[in-house]
């Protein structure tokens, strides 16, 4: 067991699968008590039971990040159950269709912005309020390499992830002198439900993408979670408002 997040209480949104579920394990192994938020109650229940079986502190809260009330409840649950909120990994997000911009349906745009941008804003509002009333804290938002450069046929997703970086910078700036750090990770292609769905619907896409990654492979969800864990830890105490790519060298090429 590591010490990186010892005694910290950390909320993870989108914890029911992929990067969020990996983060639950990584943060717990580093000593954190984790509160897992997502819409799929059954998946969260299984994860919490597995973590508890291993002796880790974990609890689940059903939460749709597009609903401010749900997010407030998740934050309140962290406080009630573990006494405070030290950190949050705002990871919930959706990918949507891969379609040329001019053919993209309005519902897809709305769903992506509702979750990835409004959801993120809801999380920041609720978490920062509680952290300011407590002893401060650290937040990591999950953007994407698509928050820094374009991903073809994913315009609304790219725009939403650029917006996540905008929210990260604005929040970091506003609360830097009040004990709250806010950073983002920008993962490259990571093996998860989002990407499995994209690849199933777009044959050849995975190989094309891998060919453009200097390390020649996609990320394991755990590799993104490790970066988030470090940014959430006190070892990153002088880092705020930054975006850390976790991309196998993709943006460097």
Restricted to residues 215-234, the positions that interact with ligand NDP (CB under 6 A) are 221
What is the spatial distance between Cα 88 and Cα 239, in angstroms, rounded to a whole number? 15
Q: Which of 2-10, 45-53, 89-97, 102-110 is the region at the interface with ligand NDP (rule: CB under 6 A)?
A: 89-97
| Segment near ligand NDP (CB under 6 A); pick from 17-25, 53-61, 170-178, 226-234 | 17-25
- In the list 33, 59, 77, 115, the residue contacting ligand NDP (rule: CB under 6 A) is 115
> What's the distance, CA 161 to chain centroid?
11
Binding residue for ligand NDP, selected from 5, 26, 138, 189, defined by CB under 6 A: 189
Residues with Cβ within 8 Å of residue 240, at least 6 apart in sequence: 172, 176, 181, 182, 183
Looking at beta carbons only, is 83 or 214 nearer to ligand NDP?
214
Residues 55-74, interacting with ligand NDP (CB under 6 A): 63-66
Q: Is 157 a catalytic residue?
A: yes
Strand order in the sheet with 58-62: 58-62, 33-38, 9-13, 87-90, 137-142, 180-187, 243-246
Residues 6+ away with beta carbon under 8 Å from 28: 34, 51, 54, 56, 57, 58
Under DSSP, the state recorded for 12 is E
Q: Which residue's structure tokens are 């060919």?
A: 211
| Between 221 and 248, CB nearer to ligand NDP | 221
Contact residues: ligand NDP, CB under 6 A: 13-20, 38-40, 43, 63-66, 91-94, 115, 119, 142, 144, 187, 189-190, 192-195, 221
């Amino acid at each position: 067991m590591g010490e990186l997040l010892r005694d910290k209480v950390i909320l993870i949104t989108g914890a029911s699968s992929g990067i969020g579920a990996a983060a639950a394990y990584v943060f717990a192994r580093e000593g954190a008590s984790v509160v897992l938020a997502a819409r799929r109650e059954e998946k969260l229940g299984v994860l919490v039971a597995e973590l508890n079986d291993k002796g880790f502190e974990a609890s689940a809260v059903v939460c749709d990040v597009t609903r401010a009330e749900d997010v407030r409840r998740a934050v309140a649950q962290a406080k009630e159950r573990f006494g405070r909120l030290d950190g949050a990994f705002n990871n919930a997000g959706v990918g949507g269709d891969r379609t040329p911009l001019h053919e993209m349906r309005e519902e897809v745009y709305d769903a992506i912005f509702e979750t990835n941008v409004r959801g993120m804003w809801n999380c920041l509002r609720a978490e920062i309020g509680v952290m300011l009333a407590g002893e401060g804290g650290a937040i990591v938002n999950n953007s994407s390499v698509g928050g820094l450069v374009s991903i073809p046929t994913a315009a609304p997703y790219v725009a939403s992830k650029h917006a996540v970086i905008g929210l990260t910078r604005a929040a970091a700036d506003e609360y830097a002198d009040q004990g709250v750090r806010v950073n983002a990770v920008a993962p490259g292609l990571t093996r998860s439900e989002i990407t499995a769905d994209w690849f199933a619907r777009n044959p050849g896409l995975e190989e094309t993408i891998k060919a453009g990654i200097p390390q020649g492979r996609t990320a394991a969800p755990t590799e993104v979670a490790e970066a988030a864990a470090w940014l959430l830890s006190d070892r990153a105490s002088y880092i705020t408002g930054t975006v850390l790519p976790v991309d196998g060298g993709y943006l460097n090429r």
